[in-house]
Amino acid sequence: MAVRKRGAGNLVLLAVAWLVLIFLMAPVVAIIPLSFNSEPFLTYPLAGFSLRWYAAVFNSPEWMNALKSSLIVGIATVAISTPLGTLAAFALVRRKMPQAQLFMGILMLPMAMPLVVVALALYIFLTRIGLANSYTGLILAHTVLATPFVLVSVTATLAGFDFGLVRAASSLGARPWVAFRRVTLPLVMPGVATGAVFAFITSWDEVVVALFVAGPGQRTLPRQMFAGLREHLDPSIMVVATIMIVISVLLVGLGFVLRRRAARTN
Amino acid sequence: MLWLLRKSDRQVSALCGDLSLNFMELIQHQKGFKVSRKLSVSATISLSLLTATAAVANEITITSWGGTYQDGQRVTYFEPFTAKTGTKVVEETYSGELAKIKAQVDSGDVTWDVVDVDSNMIATGCDEGLFETLDYSRILDRSKFIDGAATDCAVGTIVVTTVTAYDKTVFAEGPKTVNDFFDLQKFPGKRGLWKRPYVNLEWALIADGVAIGDVYKQLSTPEGVDRAFAKLDTIKDQLVWWEAGAQPAQLLADKEVAITSAWSGRIQTAISKENKPFAVVWDAQALDFNFWAIPRGAKKLDDSYAFIAFASDASVMSKQSLVSAYGPTNKDALALIAPDVVETLPTAESHMTNPLVYDAKFWGQNGEELTKRFNNWLAK
Amino acid sequence: MATPAPFLSARGKLVLLALPMLLFMLLFFFIPVGSLLVRAVQDPELGAIAPNLQRELRAWDGQGTPPDSVVLALRDDLAAAQKDRRAAIVAKRAAEADPKLRPAIMDAAKASLADPQLSVQAVLNLDPVWRDAACWTRLRDVFAPFTDRYLLSALDLKRDRDTQEIVKVAPDQAIFLATLQRTLGVSLAVTLICLLLAYPLAYVVVRQGPVMQALMLTFVMLPFWTSILVRSAAWLVLLQTHGVVNETLMSLSIISEPLKLVYSRSGTILAMVHIQLPFTFLPIYSVMKSVPDSYVRAAQSLGAKPFYAFRRIYLPQTLPGVAAGCLLTFILCLGYYITPALLGGPADQLLSYYVAYYLNQEVNWSMASAVALMLLVVTLVIYTIYARFVPVLRQVEG
């Protein structure tokens, strides 16, 4: 690898990279001890060690329901927005596509629109078609927000894609689906995966639209977190954040181990 | 060659998409589990359908501000109301989005039956026709409420006040009046204020010598507004602006400020439940209310009125003060509260020597202009 | 793709691929949002509340005193509106044209409701406003089907009440252009910082072994799983005057006075960079993934200096990722609201704040729409300029 060959310059780069990573992780790390604070204040040094906020979260049906709602909406959003955005990206990125630049700009507009406007507009619209206060409505709303992310990520990856490979596979006798699955998909997967992650995060951390569009039955985690903020910052949000961090670290670890094993058996 | 391409990039892509894909993987891995889940889902659905048909006749949706505040309301109002009348309460939370109420009213499909609103929302919302005009014969006689609590389209539920609070460990002899808040010589240190013009302009005028009763008359004139901003200018470089109501107590706890404006309930909780060395200055406390209101076109008016009447009852209301340090709006309720609790409430007699009665109507009419000017002033 | 006997042209097939997303966005974004933003030039409410008055006012030519039919329509519609508590909406909108109209309309509404048979003369006698022809003309303008009032207001402009000329609003009321400028400035700064941090990070990450790469990616992604609210709180804990960072630096005697890291512009930018960094990083990273190192190595082996090889070979190949990441970040920054509010200083309100303010607090949806529209137009303009210089969409053959 190129990195090992070049000396000092790469050490500097490596140091910069780690500094950026530390910057990214700092608030995440800072949260974890606070979730064990015995006082409801987010202040160091900790007043004492306590599991009271953990007890509060695990004993609270609201938090558990919120977790469930968030997962349902997030996964459904990914499931709809990823194919929508990926298909559109495959079209927009081709020279033959008419007005691609214009469509791209138009399809990115939802990202620039202040969320409150989208939230209110969708609420009015969904009320009219009878989908306000439902999972379907919230999933549709989050899909609107999430799909542009998929589009951007996949088009970026496809910019370096050689469609000649697909033609080559086809001319070698591969059927379209096989060619897509074995040639195209693996190559654009980083972009699709990035888009899917963005889509999930968009839904996962979205509060404004959820505030309008969701009813009592679909209260998501961010909504649960923001409720009561007017008055009291509930340390339970630190607990939920810590749990999420632990879960995602475990999932990454698990996924990694599984893949290594799969690679070895191959 | 194709195979090679595929393999290396698979690994790569999987890494990048790890976090999202893992969820999907996990779900896929549990195919065996699916069947039983389907069963249980259908069971839940049929069960909930059964209960739904039984309960739909009397069930009302009440929307409030969430958090500990709504936890208190649940114990004080919602559960006892259900116990008494059999009407189930479906709870909603919001953060004061008047737009959501307007959208419901405009569409004619109103899903909220009762909403907890603040006075600025009433001042605007009443004018915009967002709330039902209340029939007090179905609630409680207007005279039973303290001044300002019984309005045409909303009934006060609690007295909330904006006070100043300070850290006792910072000042041996703490500030006593709102003038002291503006006195940097006597009480050096940072000050916290809400990043809105409300109450700040009033206090500035009071500290500048305007009689408390003349504040809004002064603020209605361009000279009065200039005067308020000039007074705020004198402490501007010492100000820290807070955004959410949870912040003032946190700012004091972090020693980020020495004195701050705050909503009294939160500070009282910090003092009594969390043993923080804070003290409240009640001078010129800005008296204000939270209200129950019915969005115009709400479908279950009888139940909505029944709830508001129940919640306005003196004995029911007196219990609210046990869970959070807000004053009751029903005049008879104060007598039912233990004296040591009364001392923590804004409406205790000893705190009511010099209150500023917050004029939401004034802000409803002048809020836009003053907000623009305030933000311009902030940015300077 | 090689389908035998194509019944669609290649172009047609591409359009078909894009169609699901286009239709979806049309139905669930452009139609709902569009019908809200129309309010920037058209207020549907007044016509709904006072339909007769609107019709009669439009029928009148606006010259001299209005005919009796206008006055009677005013009386009847205001009485009906007052019954619904909606007369105040008319009064409020009218006050934007002339503040004197607000009390006059409220009084007229109350009087008409009390006595539905009020004579024309009696209505005119209610308030001097009604005997002033200029006020009626202004009321007529309020009921105009389209108005530029809100759009002008979003540009800190207004029409002079008497001459109808477009003039600047009073300096203490001019807020939107300065806020727009600030929004653009902050977004640009955040985007540049994100790029400066994300590019070398991606460059390093992409060159690590699988284990290290997984670890680093986890570090990038973990903040994503933490709510923005939680992260804002965490930044406060770390960065406030007596926060972890200041206390540490002070105890190490690196600084003697605490640094002002939050409740300031730097706090806003820092927190926004933190939120946006993964959005800049991931597109760059996923593009770098698909760029083989061999070109650069080839260039170097042919004698190119490392930096030259990087600039001429590697950078252009990774540019689509940079373009996508930066655009994503910049555009997302334009819509920020919560973070600047919690961590920023007094002068850090961004444009979205006012959209939310007008939508939720003033419930003046027309004004909110006008401000949002301004933001939208600016975004499109910037996108167009950007797309000229940077390959936002690098198209390929195939």
Rg of chain C on CA atoms, in Å: 29
In sequence order, the 6+-apart residues with CB closer than 8 A to the CB of A195 are A81, A82, A85, A86, A149, A150, A151, A152, A153, A154
Determine the pLDDT at residue C195: 96
**Calpha distance C163→B237 (Å, rounded):** 42
Counted residue by residue, chain B has a size of 380
Confidence bin at C78 (pLDDT 50/70/90): very high
**Calpha distance C222→A28 (Å, rounded):** 8
Do C209 and C348 fall into the same domain? yes
Q: CB-CB: which of B99, B369, B378 is closest to C346?
A: B378
- Assess contact for C142 and C97: CB atoms under 8 A: yes
Instruction: Give Cα C160 to chain centroid, integer Å.
Output: 27
Whether residue B179 is predicted with pLDDT greater than 80 in this model: the reply is: yes
**CATH number, domain at B270?**
3.40.190.10
More confident residue, C250 or C340: C250
β-bridge partners, B89: B60
β-bridge partners, B260: B165, B192
Q: What is the largest CA-CA distance in chain A?
A: 70
Model confidence pLDDT, tens digit, residues B308-323:
999 999 999 999 887 8
Task: Compute the C-alpha angle B260/B266/B272, nearest 5°.
Answer: 105
Determine the pLDDT at residue C20: 94
**Calpha distance A67→A204 (Å, rounded):** 10
Model confidence pLDDT, tens digit, residues B204-229:
999 999 999 999 999 999 999 999 99
The amino acid sitting at B280 is V
Q: Where in the sequence is the domain holding A215, given as residue range(s)?
A: 62-239
Mean pLDDT, residues C372-381 taken together = 90
Do B247 and B150 fall into the same domain? no
Do B110 and B248 fall into the same domain? no
Determine the pLDDT at residue B32: 36
Mean of the per-residue pLDDT values for chain B?
A: 84
Determine the pLDDT at residue A246: 85
Centre a 10 Å sphere on the Cβ of residue A3 and count the other Cβ atoms it contains.
Answer: 16
DSSP conformation class of C359:
I
Do C254 and C268 fall into the same domain? yes
Do A152 and A229 fall into the same domain? yes
Q: Is B147 left (phi over 0), alpha (psi -120 to 50) or beta?
A: beta
Mean pLDDT, residues C189-205 taken together = 95
Mean of the per-residue pLDDT values for chain C?
A: 87
- In angstroms, what CA-CA distances link C269 with A25, C343, C383? 17, 9, 22
Q: How many helices (H) and strands (E) does chain B have?
A: 18, 10
Determine the pLDDT at residue C243: 83
Do B229 and B302 fall into the same domain? no
Instruction: Give Cα C175 to chain centroid, integer Å.
Output: 15
CA dihedral A133, A137, A141, A147 (to 10 degrees): 150
Do A70 and A25 fall into the same domain? no
In sequence order, the 6+-apart residues with CB closer than 8 A to the CB of B36 are none
Chain C: partners with 3+ C-beta pairs within 8 Å: A, B
Nearest Cα to Cα of residue B62 among B76, B41, B47, B46: B76
**CATH number, domain at A171?**
1.10.3720.10
Q: Where in the sequence is the domain holding B336, given as residue range(s)?
A: 57-159+289-343
Determine the pLDDT at residue B348: 86
Q: Is B178 inside any structural domain? A: yes
Q: Where are the alpha helices (DSSP H) in A205-235?
A: 208-213, 221-226
**Calpha distance C344→C342 (Å, rounded):** 6
Do B139 and B247 fall into the same domain? no
**Calpha distance C32→A128 (Å, rounded):** 10
**Calpha distance A195→B67 (Å, rounded):** 34
Confidence bin at B54 (pLDDT 50/70/90): very low
Rg of chain B on CA atoms, in Å: 26
Token pair 């006749």 is found at: B57
Instruction: Give Cα A94 to chain centroid, integer Å.
Output: 27
**B375-379, C84-88, C336-340, range with the lowest pLDDT:** C336-340
Q: CB-CB: which of C85, C347, C359 is closest to B129?
A: C85
> Which chain A residue's Cα is nearest to B256?
A43
Model confidence pLDDT, tens digit, residues C81-96:
888 778 888 888 888 8
Determine the pLDDT at residue A228: 65
The amino acid sitting at A61 is P
CB atoms A92 and C393 under 8 Å: yes
Do C93 and C118 fall into the same domain? yes
Whether residue C379 is predicted with pLDDT greater than 70 in this model: the reply is: yes
Number of folded domains that form chain C: 3
Q: Does any CB of chain C come closer than 8 Å to the CB of residue B233?
A: no
In sequence order, the 6+-apart residues with CB closer than 8 A to the CB of B69 are A228, A230, A231, A232, B265, B324
Q: Does any CB of chain B come closer than 8 Å to the CB of residue A120?
A: yes
Determine the pLDDT at residue B18: 35
**CATH number, domain at C334?**
1.10.3720.10
Token pair 């029409």 is found at: C159
Whether residue B8 is predicted with pLDDT greater than 80 in this model: the reply is: no
> Which chain B residue's Cα is nearest to A190?
B13
Number of folded domains that form chain B: 2
Do C89 and C31 fall into the same domain? no
Q: Which two tokens stand for residue C220?
A: 């990038």
**Calpha distance B123→B102 (Å, rounded):** 14
Model confidence pLDDT, tens digit, residues A157-191:
887 777 777 778 888 888 878 887 888 888 788 88
Confidence bin at C142 (pLDDT 50/70/90): confident
Q: ipTM value of the model? A: 0.86
Do C355 and C371 fall into the same domain? yes
Q: Is A184 inside any structural domain? A: yes
Q: Which two tokens stand for residue A42?
A: 């987010």
Do A89 and A167 fall into the same domain? yes
Distance from CA of A241 to the nearest CA of B (A): 15
The amino acid sitting at B358 is Y
Whether residue C371 is predicted with pLDDT greater than 50 in this model: the reply is: yes
CB atoms B18 and C221 under 8 Å: yes
Report the run of H or E that residue B158 belongs to, with start and end.
strand B155-167
Number of folded domains that form chain A: 2
More confident residue, B44 or A148: A148
Whether residue A44 is predicted with pLDDT greater than 70 in this model: the reply is: yes
Q: Where in the sequence is the domain holding C83, given as residue range(s)?
A: 44-145
Do C311 and C190 fall into the same domain? yes
- Assess contact for B117 and B308: CB atoms under 8 A: no
Whether residue B155 is predicted with pLDDT greater than 90 in this model: the reply is: yes
The amino acid sitting at B137 is S
CB atoms A230 and B245 under 8 Å: yes
Do B73 and B154 fall into the same domain? yes
Centre a 10 Å sphere on the Cβ of residue C393 and count the other Cβ atoms it contains.
Answer: 26
Confidence bin at B55 (pLDDT 50/70/90): very low
**Calpha distance C73→B231 (Å, rounded):** 48
Model confidence pLDDT, tens digit, residues A87-109:
999 899 888 888 888 888 889 88
Whether residue B49 is predicted with pLDDT greater than 70 in this model: the reply is: no
Nearest Cα to Cα of residue A153 among B306, C281, C355: C281
Ordered DSSP codes for A8-49: HHHHHHHHHHHHHHHHHHHHHHHHHHHTTBSSSS--SSPS-B
Which of B9, B22, B37, B263 is the best residue to mutate to test the A interface, defined by the most A CB atoms within 10 Å of its own CB? B22
Do B94 and B129 fall into the same domain? yes
Determine the pLDDT at residue B159: 92
Whether residue B188 is predicted with pLDDT greater than 80 in this model: the reply is: yes
Mean pLDDT, residues B75-88 taken together = 95
Confidence bin at C161 (pLDDT 50/70/90): confident
Distance from CA of B196 to the nearest CA of A (A): 14
Do C190 and C335 fall into the same domain? yes
Q: Does any CB of chain C come closer than 8 Å to the CB of residue B294?
A: no
Centre a 10 Å sphere on the Cβ of residue C94 and count the other Cβ atoms it contains.
Answer: 23
Do C305 and C180 fall into the same domain? yes
Do A103 and A180 fall into the same domain? yes
Do A70 and A10 fall into the same domain? no
